[in-house]
Chains A and B, each alone.
Chain A
Amino acid sequence: MKVKEVMTKVVKSLLPNMGAREALDALLNIEISGLPVIDEEGRLIGMFTEKDVLKSILPTYLESVGKFIYADDPKGIKTKVQDLAKIKVKDIMRKDVVTVGEDTALSEVARIMLTHKIRRMPVLNKDGKVVGIVARQDIVKGLVF
């Protein structure tokens, strides 16, 4: 089975100059954790996910500091949440996006997802345009049922 048979074909996308807050609202409205970012010429230039939003509002040195517990929300995080209205999607989106072609086999997509530790991928046609998005759940459904 090919990925085009299980992917979500109607893809909502985001523009790189859109406000990050507005883009986050779009994610929450359609209950999806990430959307592709496409420029005016229709080229995929990144992925904007809830994880990227969390990464942008939490301190970058969290992992380096090691184990601790936040007993309250730091002021810096609150400020960064407010700043989401001022920054653009392109400032926090992930730029190194792993993609697949629409004729890729499901097992290959599953292999890429596991080895790259990703949950969803944009699907591109032969012209490099985004034609769909495939999530881990789509692959499991396609392979098992």
Chain B
Amino acid sequence: MNRFIFKFFVLLAMSIGSGLLGSRIGLNLQQSIAISIFSVSILGTLFFWDFRLSFAFLGTSVLLLTRTIDLENLIKSASLEVILFLVGMMVLIGLLKESGFFAWLISLILRMRRLTAKKFLISISIISALLACAVDEVTSIIFMVAAILEISDYFEVNPIPFIISSVLTTNIGSAGTVLGNPIGILIATKSGLTFEDFILKAFPLMLVCLAATIILVCLWYRRPLKEFDRKIKEMGANDILIKLISVPPEKRLKIALGIFGFTSFFIGLHHRLELMWDLQPNTILLIIPLISSGCVMIWRWQRARSYIEKDVEWWTLLFFLLLFAQAGTLKYTGATDIFAQKLSSFVGHNPLALRGVILWGSAIGSSVLDNVVLVAAFIPIIQSFQGMNFNLQPLWWALLFGGCFGGNITMVGSTANIVALGILEKEKHLKINFFHWLGIGLIVGIVTTGIVWIFLSCVRLTN
């Protein structure tokens, strides 16, 4: 209890301190209140994970009560379009799960023929990254950990190297498409970047970083790999694993895959369709998951309520909604314009230096903070660079890759890390030491962020 009170006072002191510091650098009262309340949300996620929604509710109420923002602008800033997109995608993921799609993927991994340790490590790394691109990092990691635990149980080897490798590559893969991470859709809607932009620019860069990560984990875990190879030789082929689980290819699984394919296809073409039909940017991107999930709820009407109540993570989404509104308040009050000016002066108005600061700043920040919190704070600042003759596109990519890759640095850096370690602890009573993770996490974090830095410094990106 004493620790709880201590942390609460630290949160309060730091939040008030950030407001006071803001007023010292020239922020007015409204801007200082906005920065203080946003600090409560950031620090709330750091110190009081279970209470973060309570802090977001109370903080947003204070913003309205103090007239820091009005109701109309608060709702405008809440990014309802992003929330609705995520709701639609969560319903679709619920359908895929219920239809056995993910269990089917696990059975495919278990059926791997002529298994060798390196082949296993490379395969799970590639599948982790691609699955994170197609669904999202948190959904993806659960199935990957399940498959890894079954295989490591069978061959009686330590699962930790494979789980860490899978988590690292999941975080890498989450930067590859709009669907990989909530920050992907958030950046896409705020920046005007399309799904095609992600596929043409972010995806290939993600593949390069994935290849680098695979090389690094193969080197780092060469001893566990040798041990695994020895066990494979000793125990022979994985005959039992091959038939361990089955998923009947029922009609429902095929329809579910068809709906997901339809959704992905139209999300992929959203920009062209919007141009062809003269629609506002991102209209198709945002409505396709709604159309698909609407159809799912008609088809599976007996389960419709369950999809919405159980598969949609309202706790997280409500936090995002209020967080976006609070970040919008920073912009509404003009606080982010001042931050942008200060940041621009700090880097001597040098675009390359600014990219570096945003990339490394967001990577270091997301190694300890929820990347959505961090990106929500950075977005209005990047928008404020619009009037300062900066090319914004490299800054958006810097934010995306920094936010995703920084999560690899520490074991609490991303939700995927926390979910995977939670399963490992429950299933195997194994706890990973902070520094054990930091060893490989820091190397992967620095190398992959470094690759992105080189890319952003050398390649000309235009809006």
Shortest Cβ gap from A125 to chain B (Å): 30
Chain B binding site: helix, strand, loop or mixed by DSSP? Answer: helix
* Inter-chain contact B244/A67, CB cutoff 8 Å: no
* Inter-chain contact B244/A70, CB cutoff 8 Å: yes
Asked whether B102 is an interface residue with its Cβ less than 8 Å from the other chain, the reply is yes
In the assembly, what is the distance between CA of A64 and CA of B99, in Å?
12
* Inter-chain contact B427/A79, CB cutoff 8 Å: no
In the assembly, what is the distance between CA of A18 and CA of B131, in Å?
44
Shortest Cβ gap from A89 to chain B (Å): 17
Contact (A79, B153) CB under 8 Å given A60-B427, A65-B142: yes
Q: B117-172: which have CB < 8 Å to A?
A: 142-143, 145-146, 149-150, 153-154
The residue from B97, B240, B423 contacting A66, defined by CB atoms under 8 A apart: B97
Q: Which residue of B lies closest to A87 (CB)?
A: B429
Q: How large is the interface on B (under 10, 10 to 19, 20 to 34, 35 or more residues)?
A: 20 to 34
In the assembly, what is the distance between CA of A64 and CA of B247, in Å?
15
The residue from A59, A60, A68, A72 contacting B247, defined by CB atoms under 8 A apart: A68
Contact (A66, B244) CB under 8 Å given A59-B149, A61-B423: no
* Inter-chain contact B245/A66, CB cutoff 8 Å: no
| Cβ contacts under 8 Å, B142 to chain A | 61, 64-65
Asked whether B426 is an interface residue with its Cβ less than 8 Å from the other chain, the reply is yes
The residue from B143, B154, B244 contacting A65, defined by CB atoms under 8 A apart: B143
| Cβ contacts under 8 Å, A74 to chain B | 150, 153-154, 244
Shortest Cβ gap from A90 to chain B (Å): 15
Contact (A76, B150) CB under 8 Å given A67-B247, A68-B107: yes
The residue from B96, B104, B248, B423 contacting A60, defined by CB atoms under 8 A apart: B423
Q: Which residue of A lies closest to B99 (CB)?
A: A67
In the assembly, what is the distance between CA of A114 and CA of B248, in Å?
35
Shortest Cβ gap from A108 to chain B (Å): 27
Asked whether A71 is an interface residue with its Cβ less than 8 Å from the other chain, the reply is yes
Contact (A71, B243) CB under 8 Å given A59-B149, A65-B103, A66-B97: yes
* Inter-chain contact B153/A61, CB cutoff 8 Å: no
* Inter-chain contact A66/B99, CB cutoff 8 Å: yes
* Inter-chain contact A68/B246, CB cutoff 8 Å: yes
In the assembly, what is the distance between CA of A61 and CA of B246, in Å?
16
- Interface residues of A, count at CB 8 A: 16
| Cβ contacts under 8 Å, B100 to chain A | 66-68
* Inter-chain contact A64/B97, CB cutoff 8 Å: yes
Contact (A68, B98) CB under 8 Å given A61-B142, A61-B423, A75-B153: no
Asked whether A30 is an interface residue with its Cβ less than 8 Å from the other chain, the reply is no
Asked whether A10 is an interface residue with its Cβ less than 8 Å from the other chain, the reply is no
Asked whether A144 is an interface residue with its Cβ less than 8 Å from the other chain, the reply is no
In the assembly, what is the distance between CA of A61 and CA of B420, in Å?
11
* Inter-chain contact A71/B244, CB cutoff 8 Å: yes
* Inter-chain contact A76/B244, CB cutoff 8 Å: no
* Inter-chain contact B102/A66, CB cutoff 8 Å: yes
Asked whether B101 is an interface residue with its Cβ less than 8 Å from the other chain, the reply is yes
Interface string of B238-281 (1 = CB under 8 A from A): 00100111111000000000000000000000000000000000
Asked whether B398 is an interface residue with its Cβ less than 8 Å from the other chain, the reply is no
Q: Which residue of A lies closest to B426 (CB)?
A: A60
Asked whether B297 is an interface residue with its Cβ less than 8 Å from the other chain, the reply is no
Shortest Cβ gap from B144 to chain A (Å): 11
In the assembly, what is the distance between CA of A77 and CA of B52, in Å?
36
In the assembly, what is the distance between CA of A13 and CA of B97, in Å?
40
* Inter-chain contact A72/B244, CB cutoff 8 Å: yes
| Cβ contacts under 8 Å, B102 to chain A | 65-66
The residue from A59, A67, A69 contacting B98, defined by CB atoms under 8 A apart: A67
Interface-centre pick from B104, B142, B153 (highest chain A CB count, 10 A): B153
* Inter-chain contact A68/B245, CB cutoff 8 Å: yes
Asked whether B106 is an interface residue with its Cβ less than 8 Å from the other chain, the reply is yes
| Cβ contacts under 8 Å, B244 to chain A | 70-72, 74
In the assembly, what is the distance between CA of A65 and CA of B247, in Å?
11
| Cβ contacts under 8 Å, A75 to chain B | 153-154, 240
| Cβ contacts under 8 Å, A79 to chain B | 153
Contact (A59, B103) CB under 8 Å given A74-B153, A76-B149, A76-B150: no
Shortest Cβ gap from A116 to chain B (Å): 18
Q: Which residue of A lies closest to B100 (CB)?
A: A67
Given contacts A68-B100, A71-B244, A74-B153, 17 further A-B contacts (CB under 8 A): A60-B423, A61-B145, A64-B97, A65-B143, A66-B98, A66-B101, A66-B102, A67-B98, A67-B103, A68-B247, A69-B247, A70-B245, A71-B243, A74-B244, A75-B153, A76-B149, A76-B153
Give 21 pairs: A residue, B residue, CB < 8 Å, sorted on A.
A59-B149, A59-B427, A60-B426, A64-B142, A64-B146, A65-B97, A66-B96, A66-B97, A66-B99, A66-B101, A66-B103, A67-B97, A67-B99, A67-B103, A68-B106, A68-B247, A69-B246, A70-B244, A75-B153, A75-B240, A76-B427
